[in-house]
Amino acid sequence: MPEPKLATESQDQFDQLQKKLVPLWKSIQSFNQDPQTIVVVPSLSVDMVGAGAVMQAYEERFLFLLLLLRQPRARLIYVTSQTILPSIIDYYLDLLPGVIPSHARPRLFLLSPLDASVRPLSEKLLERPRLIERIRSLISDPDRAHLVPYNTTDIEKELAMRLGIPMYGADPKFFPLGTKSGCRKIFLEEDVAHPLGHENLASKDDVVEAIIEMRAKKPSIKQVLVKLNEGVSGEGNALVELSGLPPSGNSNERPGIEDRLRAMQFELKGINYDSYMRKLEARKGIVEERIMGEEFRSPSVQLRVTPLRSVELLSTHDQLLGGPSGQSYLGCAFPADSGYASLITREAAKVGNRLAREGVIGRFALDFVVVRSNGKWDPYAIEINLRKGGTTHPFLTLQFLTDGTYDPESGIFTAPSGQQKFFVASDHVESPRYRTLTPDDLFDIVVRHNLHFDQTRQTGVVFHMMSALGELGRTGLTAVGNSHDEAKATYARALAVLDQEAQGV
């Protein structure tokens, strides 16, 4: 069936806008200080459950992009659902190395629809044509401007077209490539090792049949994961225990699997079997073996495909996971262990080259699990995140603050001084006691305890998501050190100081 004419015209309009990224990217790469406008709309158009304070905190998580104001002719328009505290803005501007804050401040424009509802920010903007016109009026030259979203759905695409500027991110038409089923298809076609499993499942019977087939192929499987095609931070995952079931082919195998499926353990609180299966029917999903081993890690690789179609391997991280079955993203350590960093980077490059051939641009990440047996690490690709993620903001914070570079061959990040840099970061620095603190209290604590990022040594702590302190007792931080041990110690000291100060209130 042919595509409707309006949809075709809309895609053509978007494609023409995207072509503007090519000369803009060439200009940015040449460091010629040409004027440019960056419009940041950190809209979370994903399936997340939480209060408005959570959404606002995640929208503020990308305030590190204020460090782009180091470019003396750059203008930054940053949009959030609610107004950001002025002291939080001052905090980031004071981090700017080599720039006078009073020079940067007039080039920063903060806008808000003043809408605390739990809906994507992009949707809120599309409902407000006057606010969109206000943003357009602040763009000095549409040919030298681009939109930076968190993730890219049809509403971000529509927003880019309404603003008349290109979007630095994957066209939503590539969305299927980043689903759990789409990932497995790419891994198979690009010869990237991944867990045994099945994709495009849409019912309980599909899942049961897939598990039966998997047990026939590999009777030793003890656990499997059911994953919704669309899920963030492990929140669409459920664990199914298979140990102790009748052997493969036994007449009692199917009813046994059905019972285990009904008892599966959900990563997201508040989910029950019936609601989860309804989502599976609506979105489809996968089931795959849960990789297990005595030594088990969950690293990731960050890449980007530039508008010039080159693939760049940006960083590796070891993810810090938690939750009921250890599948929820809590934070990361950078860089990933050198024992497997180059292994996962090589596998990620295969996927990066495939996505570049498909026409994808922007940042994305590949999640892996690695297990060690007989002294050898074996990597398994788990998923592709066609968006910015939890490892994006701490890495770019480090990069912007130090002007350092990451070498994908050695897995080492080096500042211009020659000093290697490391960090530990988390979005989940939280305690009920932290609700007694305001961002201004936090700044006072940081200064009194000498935790603030030191531009001379290029070590210390950078906080984010501070607006969630009062309502949720939650913030985030990136602890930078000159070694893994120093970064971990700085992170631990920051937590200890916060606990001590909150206790003493």
- Write out pLDDT tens, residues 489-503: 999 999 999 999 998
Q: What is the pLDDT of residues 47-71, one digit of tens each?
A: 554 567 888 999 999 999 998 998 8
In a domain, 138, yes or no: yes
| Number of C-beta neighbours around residue 359 at 10 A | 14
Mean pLDDT, to the nearest integer, of 89-116? Answer: 92
Last residue within a domain, chosen from 269, 289, 309: 289
For residues 300 and 432, membership in a common domain is answered with yes
Confidence check: pLDDT of 196 > 60: yes
CATH number, domain of 354, equals 3.30.470.20
pLDDT over 90, % of the chain: 76
Instruction: Judge whether 381 lies within some domain.
Output: yes
- Distance between CA atoms of residues 101 and 109, nearest Å: 14
User: Are 422 and 477 in the same domain?
Assistant: yes
Considering the domain architecture, whether residues 463 and 321 belong to the same structural domain is answered as yes
**Would the pLDDT of 365 be above 50?**
yes
H or E segment at 413? strand 412-414
Whose CA is closest to 315, among 388, 232, 380, 377?
A: 388
For 319-360, what is each residue's pLDDT tens digit? Answer: 887 766 566 678 899 999 999 999 999 999 999 999 999 999
Region of 490 please: left (phi>0), alpha (psi -120 to 50) or beta: alpha
Q: Does a structural domain hold residue 253?
A: yes
Backbone torsions φ then ψ of 156, nearest 5 degrees: -70, -40
Q: Count the domains in the chain.
A: 3
- Give the span between the Cα atoms of 290 and 223, in whole angstroms: 6
pLDDT at residue 181 above 50?
yes
Residue 27 CB coordination number (10 Å): 15
Q: Which domain holds residue 299?
A: 295-503
Q: What is the pLDDT of residue 1?
A: 41
Is 223 found in the same domain as 122?
A: no
Dist CA 32 CA 47 (whole Å):
40
Same domain, 136 and 253: no
Q: Is the dihedral of CA 85, 91, 97, 99 positive or negative?
A: positive
- In this model, does residue 45 exceed pLDDT 90? no
In a domain? residue 442: yes
Residues 162 and 239 in one domain: no
Residues 357 and 497 in one domain: yes
CB under 8 Å, gap of 24 or more: what pairs does 487-490 form? 487/333, 487/422, 487/423, 487/424, 488/333, 488/424, 490/424, 490/451, 490/459, 490/460, 490/461
Is the bond preceding residue 2 a cis peptide, omega within 30 degrees? no
Same domain, residue pair 109 and 220 = no
Helix axes 439-448, 86-95, angle to 10 degrees: 40
Q: Is 300 exposed, middle or buried (0-12, 13-18, 19+ CB in 10 A)?
A: buried
Across the chain, mean pLDDT equals 91
Whether 48 and 64 share a structural domain: yes
Q: Which amino acid is at 157?
A: K
Residues 241 and 159 in one domain: no
Q: What's the rounded Cα separation, in Å, for the pair 436 and 472?
A: 10
H helix or E strand, kind and range, residue 285 = strand 285-289
Mean pLDDT of 214-227: 95
